[in-house]
Amino acid sequence: MIALENVGTPDDPNTNVNEEKAVTVTVNGVETLTLKAEGTNVVSLSGDSAKDISVSGNGSIKINAVPNTLKTIDASQVNGNVYVDVSNASGMTKIVTGGGDDKVTVDISDDVLANAQIEGGSGNDELVVNGSGTVQFNQSGFEKVTFDKTTGAITFSALNAADIQTI
């Protein structure tokens, strides 16, 4: 397990300058990575074989980048806010967040499977969809879905989605 406590520098929302500085955590040769977040943390994860990441703790965590080998992330045991950008991954199958107000960014062009399981926790959660393609996520717990950096047409089927309040 890697314990994180106030690692990196978060952006101050009260200024016009982006002060955010992520600390890069590189883990090679490890397929299952366990993180514990206390305090406020901003990290970029890299490595050559990480497939599964689990995160727990009472703090918040912002993960700006993940290894391209990543398939699942489970942050259901995090009590603070979880912000994770999995745009660098390839073929994600499962993303789960915790009890805070969480934000997950995906690129449907190649990083997440069209039928991936995506679950938000008990907070007010947002799913940001980038890229282009067709998806029908098995999705719940995300009250807001945002289409941001689109690179072409997106077909977003909400057939297997629950809890969406705003698009």
Q: What is the pLDDT of residues 53-91, one digit of tens each?
A: 999 999 999 999 999 999 999 999 999 999 999 998 988
Q: What is the DSSP string of the chain?
A: -EEEES-SB---TTSSS---BPEEEE--S-SEEEEEEESEEEEEEE-SS--EEEEEESSEEEEEE--TT--EEEEEEE-S-EEEE-TT-SSEEEEE--SS--EEEEETTTTEEEEEEEE--SS--EEEEEEEEEE--EEES--EEEEEEEEEEEEE--TTB----B-
Please count the residues of the chain: 167
Rg, Å, the chain Cα set:
15
| Mean pLDDT in residue range 13-35 | 93
Amino acid at 89: A
DSSP bridge pairs for 130: 107
Structure tokens at 152: 């072409």
What pLDDT shows up at residue 109?
Answer: 80
Among the listed residues 150, 116, 158, 148, the one whose alpha carbon sits nearest the alpha carbon of residue 133: 150
What pLDDT shows up at residue 110?
Answer: 72
Amino acid at 122: S
Structure tokens at 20: 């955010």
What pLDDT shows up at residue 146?
Answer: 96
